[in-house]
Structure 1
Amino acid sequence: MESMTGYAFIEASTEQFSYSVELKSLNSRYLEIFVNLPKLLKNEENELHNLMKRHFSRGKLELHVDIFDWNVTRPISINAEMIKKYYRELRQIHDELGSAEPLRFESVLTLEGVSQRERSVISRTSRRDIYTAVGRAIEMAREMRNREGATIKKDMGALVMEITRHLGTIKTISKNAVREKKDSLKKRIEAVLGSTVDEVRLYTEVAILADKLNVNEEIIRFKDHISKFASLMKSRDQIGKKLDFLAQEMFREINTIGSKSSSSEIAHAVVDVKNHIEMIREHCRNVV
């Protein structure tokens, strides 16, 4: 069993710069992948998206890669022809104006187009290092998802055991409920009529009442759902939605049991079972 909640953060350096890789995994009905990259890595977005898709089948995944603290300075290129052109033009204007101020060469270097800082390029080694870090982040996030999945599995197993125990209690109480209703009905009729009750008529009424109070079918179906639920928890496939569906069916059965019974003990057991099922459904929403 795998949870959809995971996290990984890696910070390292290449020969060119320092970088960080952050991967967040949250629960979602489907597989949603968001890749946030610096401008220099935008061309890698599709490949990183496919890499994530190969390792995850469900959940909302957010991958963030950041680059900072460059170790190398971007080289600057000088446009010699542009400098000569600027200088000739400025010299001509300077002479025409007859300015006493000397024409300084450094003033030419500040003009537009004279120098240009070359665009940074990520080397193959740096690219490989980033992909290695992303791969490690995926492993770390999956390890966390598996650890949490194991915890969820253990917790759900304990909840199922509690539900099974409550079902046993409900079954025992419901068997005695018909007998108690018969004795109660007999006493009430005798108190009203003041005479012995017709046993045949009494058993007919009790049979009708017993049919209304009988929860045996619901308990059988409930146990079948529990059996399927326990079997499904052992699977390594996508089981979150299937488990949630079975939990809904369990809730439907316990609702019917509660509506049929007038016993306070059964009512309390039903409340506990409903609470356990809700806790199971919360877990199911975070299972792949």
Structure 2
Amino acid sequence: MVTSMTGYGRGESQNEQVKVFAEIKTVNHRFCEYTIRMPRQLLVLEEKVKKMASEYIRRGRVELFITVEGKSLVSKNVDIDWNLADQYVSLMDAVKGKYNLGGSISLQDILQLESIFLMEEVATIPSDLEKLLMESVKGALENLTQMRVQEGQGLASDLQSQLKKFAEIVAGVKTYAPSVVKQYKDRLTIKLSELTDGMIEDSRIVTEAAIFADKCDINEELTRLDSHVQQFSDTLKQGQPIGRKLDFLVQEMNREVNTIGSKANDSVITKEVVEMKSLLEKLKEQVQNIE
């Protein structure tokens, strides 16, 4: 089954205290790369989340966002640095005494000294929050997989269509190729006859035609193309991730087509080579989206 690397999934789970949301976005990437954003207090669960995601995703750039609504995951406690406060008050009294200043130190004066107050955050994670989080992530992954499979089916259909056109061109070139040598031999016979007033040895024409046939022989490349096309078609029916293998096959097919273009000294074949390269470009573009 062909699976796309592009997709989106969303899941949520809740109890009486909190609601957990998970959103996953994936795009094509050569390897498997994760970006996970979640409340800092839940980062201890990041590896568990990655492990679950790896059961559904084997290749692609993955962005996972987890949010929690409801009861706060953090409680705040306020304390005071009494030692520092004592120093502030002592210095205030010293200043008053040195400069004979009146008045007394008030509560308002103390409250202005923000540095003496200490704020401490304490994590308050509900006991079943991990279960809720993993349930929401699983739901998002299942939705994501459904979308990736659906898009993959569309990609497979398009790839098969392009591959069929490519195979038809290869078959046409294979049928046409033998006539290239005959056409060359006929042109050579006419040209040499004109230059020698018909006084030409058949052996010379045969020799020249044989040399030309050897230089422009593309049977080997066409045979390999047939093999690559069959492998490509068979690979589309496999269940495991196939994107890298398809990408390799497209590269090999492109290599054979380039060789045919450089060897075939014929305008018809050159035209077909251009068409084959155009189809290979489309195949390559689509293959980049397959897991």
TM-score scaled by structure 1? 0.80
Residues paired across the two proteins, number: 268
Match of 1:53 in 2: 54
Structure 1, residues 85-113: CA drift from partner, whole Å, max 9, x if none? xxxxxxxxxxxxxxxxxx99xx99xx999
> Quick one: structure 1 residues 115 and 271, their matched pair in 2 at CA, closer, same or farther if it must change by over 3 Å?
closer
Partner SS state of residue 124, structure 1: coil
Pairwise mapping of residues 42-191 of structure 1 onto structure 2 (< 5 A)? Answer: 42-68=43-69, 70=70, 119=122, 121-191=124-194
Please provide the CA RMSD for this pair: 3.2
Alpha-carbon distance in 1 for matches of 2:136, 2:119 = 33
Task: Give the drift of 1:129.
Answer: 2.4
Q: Percent identity between the aligned chains? A: 30
> Quick one: structure 1 residues 193 and 149, their matched pair in 2 at CA, closer, same or farther if it must change by over 3 Å?
same
Alpha-carbon distance in 2 for matches of 1:121, 1:265 = 75
Kept in 2: contact 1:178–1:206 (CA 8 A) = yes
Task: Give the drift of 1:117.
Answer: 8.9
Gaps in structure 1 of 5+ consecutive residues: 83-102
Alpha-carbon distance in 2 for matches of 1:244, 1:73 = 46
Alpha-carbon distance in 1 for matches of 2:176, 2:133 = 64
Partner SS state of residue 55, structure 1: coil
Kept in 1: contact 2:218–2:260 (CA 8 A) = yes
Kept in 1: contact 2:22–2:65 (CA 8 A) = yes
Opposite residue 144 of structure 1, the aligned amino acid is M
Match of 1:287 in 2: 290
Opposite residue 157 of structure 2, the aligned amino acid is K
Alpha-carbon distance in 2 for matches of 1:257, 1:223 = 13
Partner SS state of residue 43, structure 1: helix
Alpha-carbon distance in 1 for matches of 2:50, 2:22 = 14
Gaps in structure 2 of 5+ consecutive residues: 83-105
- Tell me whether 1:269 sits opposite 2:280 in the alignment: no
Partner SS state of residue 286, structure 1: coil
- Tell me whether 1:231 sits opposite 2:242 in the alignment: no
Task: Give the drift of 1:120.
Answer: 5.4
Alpha-carbon distance in 2 for matches of 1:239, 1:72 = 44
Partner SS state of residue 55, structure 2: helix
Kept in 1: contact 2:28–2:61 (CA 8 A) = yes
TM-score scaled by structure 2? 0.80
Alpha-carbon distance in 1 for matches of 2:138, 2:275 = 44
Match of 1:30 in 2: 31
Opposite residue 212 of structure 1, the aligned amino acid is K
Higher relative contact order (CA 8 A, sep 6+): 2
Aligned with 1:256 (options 247, 256, 259)? 259
Kept in 2: contact 1:33–1:52 (CA 8 A) = no
Alpha-carbon distance in 1 for matches of 2:179, 2:115 = 97
